[in-house]
Structure 1
Amino acid sequence: MRWPRRLPIDPFIAALLGTVALAAVIPLRGTGAEAGRVITGVAVALLFFLHGAKIAPRAALAGARHWRLHTVVLLTTFVAFPLLGLAAAALRPAVLTPELYQGLLFLCAVPSTVQTSIAFTAIARGNVPAAVFTASFSNIAGIALTPLLVTLLLQGSDDVRLSAGSIGSVVLQLLVPFVAGQLSRRWTARWIERHRALTGHVDRGAILLVVYSAFSAGVVAGVWDEVSPGRLAALTAVVGGLLAAVLGLTYAAGRLLAFERADRVTILFCGAKKSLATGLPMATVLVSPEALGLLVLPLMIYHQIQLIVCAAIARRWGARPAEVEPPG
C-alpha cells in the first residue's frame, strides 16, 4: 500500500495529535514531570535562540518604513483580537466552559507568526519586506505585551501566575535567548541557513515537548474529563468564526485605509495569524501546569485552521494576474 502524497492533515498537526494521544496514555508523573519541565525549558530557550539567529535585522528593517501597515497589524494582533475574545464571553458557559473560554482569551493575546505569515505573503505576491518586519516585530513586542494582556484578560484566575518572578522567567527563558541569537548572527547565521531542516526540527521538537508536558499535567490533574466531543466541536466552530471575523476585519481595513494591493495582502496574513511556536512556550511560564492543556487547546485548533484557510487564500490570490484585485 502506497502512502498518499498529499495527506488531508498537515504532518506537524498529525504529530501534535499523536503527542496528545501519547500524553493521554503515558502521561508524565512525579520525577518524570519535573524532568520534562526542565527539558522543555531548555528546548524553548534553544527555540528562541534560533528565532533570534534566523531574523536578519537588515532584512527586517527594509520594511520598517511602512509604519501605517505595521500599526494596523499590531492593533489587530493586540487590540482587535482581545476585544473579540472579550465579546465571546456571551458564549460562556452555554457553549464554552470557563476553562475553554480562558484558552480563547489566551489565544487572542498571542503574537503573530513569522515563518508562515511571510511564506503566505510571498505566495500571494504581497509586500514581503514589510511582512518580515511586522511579523518579527509582533513576536518581539509579544514577549512584553502577551504577559500583560494575559494578566488583564484572565484577571481573577488562580491559574495565571504573573509576578516579578514570572516576568523574570519570561525575560530569562525567551528574551535573553532571542537577544543572544541576534548577537550570535555573525557566527551562526550562515550555519543556520545551511541547516534549515535541522533548525526546523528543533522548532517542532520544542513545541511537541511543550504539548506533551502540558497535556500530561492535564491528564494527571483530571481536567480532560470536562471536555466532551460536543464541547470540542463547539470550540472548533468558535475558533473558526474568530478567524473568519479577523480575516474580514483585516481585509476591510486594508481597503478602507486605501493600502496598495501588496500591502493589503501583508496586513491580512500577518494580522490574522497567531503563533503556536511563541504562544506555547509563553504559556508554560505564565500558567500553572495543571491548567496548561485546556488553555492551549484553542490555540492548537486555531493554528490548524489558519494554515488550511490562509494557504487556500494565498494560492488563489497568487494565481491571479497581477492587475486583478482579490475578490471582495
Structure 2
Amino acid sequence: MGFKFDWFMKGMLGAVLLAFLWPEPGAKGGFLQPELLNKLGVALVFFLNGLALSLASMKDGALRWRVHLLVQCSTFLLFPLLGVALLWGSAGWMAAPLQIGFFYLCALPSTVSSSVALTIAARGNVAAAVFNATLSSLIGVLLTPLWMAWVLHQSGGNFAVGPVIVDLLLWVVLPLVLGQFSRPLLKDWASRHKGLLQKVDRITILLLVYTSFADTVKEGVWSRYNPLLLLQTVAGCALLFLLVLALTQWGARLLGMPRGDRIASVFCGSKKTLASGVPMAHLIFGANPAIGLILLPIMIYHPLQLLAGGMLAQRWSSAEAAPS
C-alpha cells in the first residue's frame, strides 16, 4: 500500500488556495454563514462516523490488553508529553498559534480508516487495530479538549471549558450517538452507499478547512509570520512521527508482542486523525482568528503519516511473504 495523492489531498490544497484567493464567503459574516455552517458540518461528520461505527466488529480485538495499553498510552500520554516538550523547546522562536497547533496534533485521537488499512496491508492483527483505533476516537472526544484546556491554562490563555464541553456534547457526542442508534435502520442502506457517504464526509471536511483558512486570511494572520513557518511545521511533524514510531516499536518489543500485534500497535499508536481533528478544532478554537495556523500541523502530519505508513506496510508485508 503506497501513498496516493488522491482527490481529498488535492481538495485540501484547493480549499486552502481558495481561502487565500477568495476568503470573504467563508470568513465570519460571509454569505456561507460559517458560524452555523461549521457546527452543522461537525454534526454531519460525526453522525456519519456513528453510522459507520460497528461496535460488534470490535469484540475480536477486545482481549489484546497489551496492544490497548501501548496504543492508548502512545496516543493520549506519549504524544501529549512530546507536545509539552515541543512547547517548552520552541518558546521564543515558534509562532504561538503554531505551538498550540502542534500540541493540538499531539492531543488528537488516532485515525480509524488508515490505521486499519495499513494494518491489513502489512498483514498485522486487524481486529486489534479496529478495536484500538475506534476506542481512541471515542476516548478523544473527552481527553482531547481536556488536554487543550490544561495546556492553554498553563500558557496563560483564556479557555472556557464549560462552553466547549457543551458544544462537544451537542455537536459531536449527540450526532455520534444518533448515528449509532440509526444503524439498525440505515446499516444496509449505508453499506450500499458507502462510497457516496465517504465523499460527503470528506467534502464536509474540505468545507471546514476552507472556512478555517478563510477566517485566518481575512484577519491577516499569515502576514505576521515568516515564510519559513511552513518549513518549521514539516520538520516538526517529521521529527514527531519518527520519535513516536521508534518508541512504539520499542514498546511493542518490550511488552513481548507477537508480530501481528506489534504492527497494529505501531500503526494505531503513531497515527493522528485529520477527519475528526478539523471538526473538533472548530468547536475548541472556533473564535480564534488563527485557527488555520493551528490546523497546519495536522494537515501536514496527515499525508506524512500515510506516506511513511504505506512504505512501512509494504516492507513488513514483503518480509512476512518472503520464504524462510
Q: What TM-score, normalized by structure 2, do the two folds share?
A: 0.93
CA distance in structure 2 between the aligned counterparts of 1:30 and 1:85, rounded to whole angstroms: 30
Is contact 2:245–2:266 with CA below 8 Å preserved after alignment? yes
Please say if 1:300 is aligned against 2:309: no
| Residues 209 and 320 of structure 1: CA distance in aligned 2, closer, same or farther (over 3 Å) | same
Amino acid at match of 1:147: P
The equivalent of 2:9 in structure 1 is 13
The equivalent of 2:54 in structure 1 is 56
| Residues 319 and 104 of structure 1: CA distance in aligned 2, closer, same or farther (over 3 Å) | same
Amino acid at match of 1:79: L
The equivalent of 2:318 in structure 1 is 319
The equivalent of 2:136 in structure 1 is 138
Partner SS state of residue 31, structure 1: coil
Amino acid at match of 1:293: G
CA distance in structure 2 between the aligned counterparts of 1:10 and 1:24, rounded to whole angstroms: 22
Amino acid at match of 2:308: V
Amino acid at match of 1:278: S
Is contact 1:217–1:289 with CA below 8 Å preserved after alignment? no
Is contact 1:214–1:289 with CA below 8 Å preserved after alignment? no
Identical columns (%): 39
Query: Larger deviation: 225-234 or 133-142?
Result: 225-234
Please say if 1:263 is aligned against 2:261: yes
Show CA shifts across 1:256-280 (max 9, x none): 1100000000000000000001111
| Residues 173 and 248 of structure 1: CA distance in aligned 2, closer, same or farther (over 3 Å) | same
Show CA shifts across 1:104-126 (max 9, x none): 01110000000110000010011
The equivalent of 1:253 in structure 2 is 251
Query: Larger deviation: 83-92 or 130-139?
Result: 83-92
Please say if 1:26 is aligned against 2:18: no
CA distance in structure 2 between the aligned counterparts of 1:120 and 1:190, rounded to whole angstroms: 26
Task: Report the Cα offset of residue 153 of structure 1.
Answer: 1.9
The equivalent of 1:70 in structure 2 is 68
The equivalent of 2:279 in structure 1 is 281
CA distance in structure 2 between the aligned counterparts of 1:33 and 1:157, rounded to whole angstroms: 35
The equivalent of 1:215 in structure 2 is 213
Residue of 67, 83, 88 corresponding to 1:85:
83
CA distance in structure 2 between the aligned counterparts of 1:160 and 1:199, rounded to whole angstroms: 37
Residue of 102, 105, 125 corresponding to 1:104:
102
Show CA shifts across 1:23-58 (max 9, x none): 011113453267123222212211111111111111
Residue of 190, 193, 197 corresponding to 1:192:
190
Partner SS state of residue 154, structure 1: helix
The equivalent of 1:3 in structure 2 is none
CA distance in structure 2 between the aligned counterparts of 1:162 and 1:34, rounded to whole angstroms: 27
Query: Larger deviation: 142-151 or 225-234?
Result: 225-234
Is contact 1:33–1:213 with CA below 8 Å preserved after alignment? no
Amino acid at match of 1:15: G
Is contact 1:49–1:178 with CA below 8 Å preserved after alignment? yes
Task: Report the Cα offset of residue 150 of structure 1.
Answer: 0.7
Please say if 1:36 is aligned against 2:42: no
Is contact 1:40–1:206 with CA below 8 Å preserved after alignment? no
Show CA shifts across 1:129-153 (max 9, x none): 1111100010000000100011112
- Structure 1: runs of 5 or more not aligned: 1-5
Aligned length: 319
Task: Report the Cα offset of residue 294 of structure 1.
Answer: 0.9
CA distance in structure 1 between the aligned counterparts of 2:159 and 2:151, rounded to whole angstroms: 13
Query: Larger deviation: 200-209 or 158-167?
Result: 158-167
CA distance in structure 1 between the aligned counterparts of 2:9 and 2:317, rounded to whole angstroms: 25
Query: Larger deviation: 187-196 or 135-144?
Result: 187-196
- Structure 2: runs of 5 or more not aligned: none
CA distance in structure 2 between the aligned counterparts of 1:311 and 1:196, rounded to whole angstroms: 23
CA distance in structure 2 between the aligned counterparts of 1:241 and 1:216, rounded to whole angstroms: 29
Amino acid at match of 2:146: L
Please say if 1:203 is aligned against 2:201: yes
Show CA shifts across 1:192-222 (max 9, x none): 1111111111221121111111111101111
Task: Report the Cα offset of residue 313 of structure 1.
Answer: 0.7
Is contact 1:250–1:272 with CA below 8 Å preserved after alignment? yes
CA distance in structure 2 between the aligned counterparts of 1:91 and 1:255, rounded to whole angstroms: 32
| Residues 29 and 78 of structure 1: CA distance in aligned 2, closer, same or farther (over 3 Å) | closer
CA-atom RMSD in angstroms: 2.0
Is contact 2:74–2:269 with CA below 8 Å preserved after alignment? yes
CA distance in structure 2 between the aligned counterparts of 1:235 and 1:69, rounded to whole angstroms: 30
Is contact 1:23–1:212 with CA below 8 Å preserved after alignment? yes
CA distance in structure 2 between the aligned counterparts of 1:207 and 1:61, rounded to whole angstroms: 30
